[in-house]
Amino acid sequence: AENTPLLRAPDAAAAETGAGDASTDAPSRRRDAVKNLHLDGDSLCGVRLGFDGVFATLSVTFIACVSVSCVAEEAMYKHLPGFDYFWTVAFAELLVFTIASFAGAGCAGTLRDVVRNRRAPLRLYVAQAIVMAVYAAIAKIAYKYLNYATGTVLRSTKLVFVMAISVVWLGRSYAPVEYAAATAMIVAVACFGLGEESSHSAGDDENHSLGYALSLAGLALAALQTNMAEHAMRDHGASTLENMLYVNGIGLVFVAIVAAYVDGAEAVTFMRTTPHAMELLAARSITFYFGALTFTELTRHSGATPATTVATARKGLTVLFSFALFPGDKPMSAWFAVGVAAFFVAIGLELKGRLVRAESRKREAAEAESEGSQ
């Protein structure tokens, strides 16, 4: 987000703070800055769409990119014969993100400043990168033993782990509706687990349990990495850009070493010789990146709460698409139906919780501003 500022720095300062020179035309310059801010929010790639039009276009683009990414991922894992190269997929995804991140920072002229003026300790970034790389890989390996819909629901329970670690480690607090969302998500996971049991034979129980164990371990590591990133940015004053560049760069080196050791040249041969393997890997990695990029732009344009609302709704579509497009390994049952319903309830409660938290922040900001004016 810091690589794509909405306005040039002087205009942004004037628009947001009313800052400017002391000349008589300062008020008109501030009005012009605010007007430019509004006009820029009405345009996308030079095309005037209106504020709602830009929001709708970015939302649809984000959902489309991530949906294609998830379909390509499921097709790769479940429909390529003999696929077992999950570290290679993690490497390809991280390679695209790292190249794009460093290229963007270089073009924006911020790369040198980030490298020279690092805020957080390097050891924190190394630890965060290793945690990120391991959870990204084992979360993919879990799909080897679970169907994609169940894996998606499990990964959505990251909320539960983030809340738990935040309460215990960082002393954060949450609204009752957020605890209700976490509870509904746990119910959804339980129902999907029972659905898995009903759709697999007894001989698959061990692998099924391993899939759950890997997913839960990945979620715990993902929650840990989220809190480590928050620690770097809040407690050490690191920027989002700094955290992203260091974690991606160090993580890419770590994943490359592990992928070379675990998957080796066999993965390259498989991707080159298996029909559609390379196309699916490229589609997964590239659309995943553009989905993240579009989400960043959506957040910049509309704010964190509307963007997160769209992202949360996308999770439900991913589960529905998985059942509709790849029903072979997960025939719909009563347990899956109840699990899907509980999952959508959890999504609704999560959105409600975010709206409650956003309103609380607005009230606190208004009270602080009122006290300051007095």
Give pLDDT tens digits along the chain (374 positions). 233 322 223 333 333 233 333 344 444 444 444 444 444 567 777 788 887 788 888 889 999 999 999 999 999 998 999 999 999 999 999 999 999 999 989 998 899 999 899 999 999 999 999 999 999 999 899 998 888 888 888 777 767 777 777 778 767 777 788 888 888 888 888 888 788 777 764 444 447 788 889 988 988 888 788 889 988 988 899 988 899 999 999 999 999 999 999 999 999 999 999 999 999 999 999 999 999 889 888 877 777 667 767 877 788 888 888 888 888 777 778 888 888 888 888 888 877 877 777 777 777 777 777 776 66
Report pLDDT for 156. 75
Report pLDDT for 305. 61
Gap between the Cα atoms of 75 and 162, Å rounded: 30
φ, ψ of residue 44 in degrees (nearest 5): -140, 120
Report pLDDT for 374. 65
The answer to whether 118 touches 16, Cβ cutoff 8 Å, is no
The verdict on residue 350 lying in a domain is: no
The string of DSSP letters for 221-272 reads HHHHHHHHHHIIIIIS---HHHHHHHHHHHHHHHHHHHHHHHTHHHHHHHHH
The verdict on residue 116 lying in a domain is: yes
The verdict on residue 225 lying in a domain is: yes
The verdict on residue 26 lying in a domain is: no
Q: Return the number of other C-beta atoms located less than 10 Å from residue 50's C-beta.
A: 12
Report pLDDT for 269. 96
The verdict on residue 97 lying in a domain is: yes
Report pLDDT for 38. 46
The verdict on residue 68 lying in a domain is: no
* CB-based contacts of 262, cutoff 8 Å, min separation 6: 87
The verdict on residue 255 lying in a domain is: yes
DSSP conformation class of 366 = H
pTM: 0.75
CA separation, residue 48 to residues 40, 51, 57, 84, 306 (Å): 9, 9, 12, 47, 21
* Domain count of the fold of the chain: 1
Report pLDDT for 86. 96
Q: What is the domain extent for residue 226?
A: 86-145+206-268
Task: Return the percent helix, strand and coil in the chain, to nearest 5.
Answer: 80, 0, 15
The verdict on residue 282 lying in a domain is: no
Report pLDDT for 21. 39
The answer to whether 49 touches 42, Cβ cutoff 8 Å, is yes
Report pLDDT for 194. 80
